């Protein structure tokens, strides 16, 4: 009987450990906010293979988190961060397992969406040596492409149709890996935010640097908003965001990363 009780206790301990790793566990007073990983300079996160909370007051967490922290500072609310793939944090938010998360826009009727936290400029990048003609989105269908996770949804119906019809189109949740696919010549075209490309090219680019062509074929910027399960928290965030824009803090934080 003692051995059986010991096995039962062990199973319970393993189950609790698994559950706390699989979904957010937190103190009742904490807000748990989800951000996707591997999106420097916007988000600098730990390894994606071990999602965990980080203290929001830690340094060098990335542009989006610094803006979020500044906007929420007036609330004095304890906040923990949770990292995962973009698809995962959106799913956890919709299931009520996160209090808030970064989103690419309204997708669920019961989530309260904020004003735009940041606007990203997306581009297509090719190697000058290949002399590719890319003047519009439809021109991409002839080429192998790497893009971020959910880019086919984020970039509108014309891009979505191209992605579905192109067997050489791929998406990757890790934008460093996406960048490396391009620089190792596994794909001809990289679809990416221009600042993310510049960030990784400065850190990992070829020496001497290779010449690239930037194709500005996307008519609209991609806006990221925070989604919350509480209207009151959303309203507090929007108030703080407006305040840091009025004070100039918003622009100072942006320029520190994107100069």
71-103 pLDDT per residue, tens: 999 999 999 888 888 888 999 999 999 999 999
The phi and psi torsions of 113 (rounded to 5 degrees) equal: -100, 140
Q: Is 102 within 8 Å of 64 (Cβ atoms)? A: yes
Is residue 1 within a helix (H) or strand (E), and if so which, with residue range? none
Phi-psi region of 251 (alpha: psi -120 to 50; beta: other; left: phi over 0): alpha
Q: Note the pLDDT of residue 45.
A: 63
Q: Note the pLDDT of residue 195.
A: 86
For the chain, the average pLDDT equals 84
Which pTM was predicted?
0.71
Q: Is 203 within 8 Å of 196 (Cβ atoms)? A: no
**Cα gap 126→129, rounded to integer Å:** 9
Percent pLDDT > 90 in the chain is 55
Q: Note the pLDDT of residue 154.
A: 86
**Both structure tokens of 62:** 């990335």
Contacts of 170 (CB under 8 A, 6+ apart): 145, 146, 147, 181, 187
- What integer is the mean pLDDT of 180-203? 92
The residue among 26, 15, 116 whose CA lies nearest residue 67 is: 116
CATH level 3 topology of 16-117+224-258? D-Maltodextrin-Binding Protein; domain 2 (3.40.190)
In the chain, which ranges are continuous DSSP H helix? 2-22, 63-72, 86-94, 151-154, 157-165, 175-183, 194-204, 231-247, 249-258
- Reported as a single tens digit per residue, the pLDDT across 131-174 is 999 999 999 999 999 999 889 988 999 999 999 999 999 999 88
Q: Outline which parts of the chain fall under CATH 3.40.190.10.
A: 16-117+224-258, 122-215
Q: Note the pLDDT of residue 146.
A: 97
The residue among 72, 60, 86 whose CA lies nearest residue 31 is: 72
CATH level 3 topology of 122-215? D-Maltodextrin-Binding Protein; domain 2 (3.40.190)
Which one of 37-46, 113-122, 201-210 scores highest in mean pLDDT?
113-122
Write the DSSP symbol of residue 48.
Answer: T
Percent pLDDT > 70 in the chain is 82
Comparing 30 with 124, which gets the higher pLDDT? 124
- Reported as a single tens digit per residue, the pLDDT across 11-29 is 344 334 334 445 555 555 7
The b-or-e profile of 114-133 (16+ CB within 10 A means b, else e) is beebbebebbbbbbeeeebe
Residue 147: strand pairing partners = 171
Write the DSSP symbol of residue 88.
Answer: H
Half-sphere exposure of 44 (CA within 13 A, CB side): 12
- What integer is the mean pLDDT of 241-245? 98
Q: Which value, in Å, is the radius of gyration of the alpha carbons in the chain?
A: 21
Q: Note the pLDDT of residue 29.
A: 75
Q: Residue 57, Cβ neighbours under 10 Å: how many?
A: 8
Comparing 61 with 15, which gets the higher pLDDT? 61
Q: Note the pLDDT of residue 15.
A: 38
């Amino acid at each position: 009987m003692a051995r059986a009780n010991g096995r039962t206790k062990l199973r319970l301990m393993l189950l609790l450990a698994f559950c706390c790793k699989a979904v957010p566990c937190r103190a009742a007073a904490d807000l748990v906010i989800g951000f996707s990983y591997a999106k420097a300079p916007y988000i600098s996160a730990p390894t994606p293979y071990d999602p965990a909370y980080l203290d929001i007051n830690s340094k060098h967490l990335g542009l989006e988190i610094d803006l979020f922290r500044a906007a929420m500072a007036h609330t004095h609310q304890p906040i923990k961060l949770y990292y995962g793939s973009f698809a995962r944090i959106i799913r956890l938010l919709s299931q009520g397992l996160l209090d808030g998360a970064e989103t690419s826009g309204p997708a669920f009727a019961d989530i309260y969406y904020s004003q735009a936290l940041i606007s990203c400029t997306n581009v297509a990048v090719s190697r000058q040596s290949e002399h590719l003609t890319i003047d519009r989105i439809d021109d991409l269908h002839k080429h192998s492409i790497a893009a971020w996770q959910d880019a086919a949804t984020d970039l509108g119906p014309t891009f979505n149709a191209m992605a579905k019809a192109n067997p050489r189109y791929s998406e990757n949740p890790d934008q460093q890996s996406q960048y490396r696919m391009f620089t190792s010549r596994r794909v001809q075209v990289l679809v990416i935010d221009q600042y993310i490309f510049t960030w990784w090219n400065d850190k990992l680019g070829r020496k001497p640097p290779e010449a690239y062509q930037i194709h500005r074929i996307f008519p609209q910027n991609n806006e990221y908003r925070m989604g919350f399960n509480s209207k009151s928290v959303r309203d507090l965030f929007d108030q703080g965001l407006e305040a840091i824009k009025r004070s100039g803090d918003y622009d100072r934080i942006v320029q520190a990363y994107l100069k």
